[in-house]
């Protein structure tokens, strides 16, 4: 039912160059969603969205993901206060990924571990080093 929130486009040209948002949800009904800080350009997190959470994101202008671990709609920040105000929503060429440019609210963080971004570790000489 939720899939019907968006059209399905099979024509490659229309999918890649058309003006209709027609996400190609995977076998689990999800597309990837990258959250990027709208001002700093920092990548904050990668989440997933089903049709309902994507539609809700567009409706309220705040990031709503689908939690794969909890198997439920997840309005980011509803409990933590780390609401992500969406300034821009982009889609990639084959429409299986969206990019959100967001302003994090609350304490400005996005990661449950306590860092601003989930990508707080970098590979250096074969080891991960925390470098937020």
CA-CA-CA-CA torsion sign (24, 87, 58, 106): positive
Under the binding rule (CB under 8 A), the answer on residue 19 touching a second copy is yes
Q: Which helix (H) or strand (E) holds 34?
A: strand 31-37
Question: How many residues in the shown chain lie near a second copy by CB under 8 A?
Answer: 39
Under the binding rule (CB under 8 A), the answer on residue 17 touching a second copy is yes
Under the binding rule (CB under 8 A), the answer on residue 34 touching a second copy is yes
* Residue 128 beta carbon to a second copy: minimum distance, rounded to whole angstroms: 5
Burial of 63 (0-12, 13-18, 19+ CB in 10 A): buried
Under the binding rule (CB under 8 A), the answer on residue 103 touching a second copy is no
* Residue 43 beta carbon to a second copy: minimum distance, rounded to whole angstroms: 6
Token pair of 92, please?
């990639």
Under the binding rule (CB under 8 A), the answer on residue 52 touching a second copy is no
């Amino acid at each position: 039912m939720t899939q019907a929130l968006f059209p399905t486009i099979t024509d490659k040209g229309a999918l890649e160059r058309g003006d209709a948002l027609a996400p190609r949800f995977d076998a689990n009904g999800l597309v990837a969603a990258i959250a990027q800080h709208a001002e700093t350009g920092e990548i904050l997190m990668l989440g997933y969205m089903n049709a309902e959470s994507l539609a809700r994101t567009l409706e309220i202008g705040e990031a709503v993901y689908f939690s794969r671990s909890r198997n439920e709609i997840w309005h980011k920040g509803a409990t933590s206060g780390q609401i992500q105000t969406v300034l821009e929503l982009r889609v990639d060429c084959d429409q299986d990924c969206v990019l959100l440019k967001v302003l994090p609210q609350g304490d400005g963080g996005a990661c449950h571990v306590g860092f601003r971004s989930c990508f707080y570790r970098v590979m250096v000489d074969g080891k991960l080093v925390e470098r937020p």
